[in-house]
Amino acid sequence: MLKKDIKAVWDRCIETRRVKPEDKEVILAYLKTVPYYQKLASQPNASLKVALKNFGRFDAWVLILNNFLPVTKKQAFKSSKKNPKAEIYRAMRNDISHQILRFRGSTTFPVTCYLSGETLTSWSEVDIDHVYPFSRLVQDWMKENGLDFPDIKIKGRANARTMADEIHKKSWQEYHFLHANLKCTSKSENRRKGKKIIES
């Protein structure tokens, strides 16, 4: 049952790119069943210490998995075959990543978290959030173009997924540019918000 739970957590985290507190407990319970984890956990390197401290961050979790599960992750996390929707979300995020970077580059500190009003002074405190959730933007774009997930073909390696159809890709990039509302938020508030739509 535990392996089934960790697979569900993986699929959810791939889609949302964040790790919720309840997911953390499932992950830790699973890691405790992996002998290699016990070995590395007793003598973590510097990057793993940082990752453990920032367990709520998706990239930190991936770092932990890559270090603790060198064998078992391959059989436990076949997301590209078992969850094609998650891989499509990943590709579509990659295809608009330049827009996120442009927003990041235009941001100057201090900034105010639009959810809490807290003043934030560095990127270590900040997430860039889609005020209207990313997954809803994807679904709205598909609906507008008469598409569904099986219609979206992707290509590339696991860490470099991209949409295979250049017409679809360009259409999605233009749609995201026109409709995405990006704002700075604190990491904790962003995790708390999840996929909820915040009315202004």
Rounded CA-CA distance 145/130 in Å is: 21
Q: Each residue of 81-131: pLDDT tens digit? A: 446 888 899 999 999 999 999 999 999 999 999 999 999 999 889 999 999
- Strand pairing report for 154-155 and 162-163: antiparallel
pLDDT of residue 154: 93
pLDDT of residue 74: 39
pLDDT of residue 17: 63
> Is this prediction's pTM over 0.75?
no
Q: Which helix (H) or strand (E) holds 155?
A: strand 154-155
What is the residue whose two structure tokens read 């017409």?
A: 167
Domain residue spans of the chain: 2-77, 81-193
Task: Give the end-to-end CA distance of the chain in Å, rounded to a whole number.
Answer: 42
User: Which of 63-67, 68-72, 85-89 has the weakest average pLDDT?
Assistant: 68-72
Of residues 48, 95, 50, 89, the one with CA closest to residue 67: 48
CB 65 within 8 A of CB 13: no
Rounded CA-CA distance 60/64 in Å is: 6
Q: Each residue of 11-25: pLDDT tens digit? A: 666 666 666 677 777
pLDDT of residue 52: 52
CB 169 within 8 A of CB 97: no
Rounded CA-CA distance 150/85 in Å is: 8
pLDDT of residue 182: 95
Give how far the C-alpha of residue 68 lies from the chain's centroid of Cα atoms, to the nearest Å. 20
Q: Each residue of 149-159: pLDDT tens digit? A: 999 999 988 77
pLDDT of residue 116: 93
Rounded CA-CA distance 80/76 in Å is: 12
pLDDT of residue 95: 94
- Strand pairing report for 119-120 and 111-112: antiparallel
Peptide bond into 110 cis (omega under 30): yes
**Average model confidence (pLDDT) across the chain:** 76
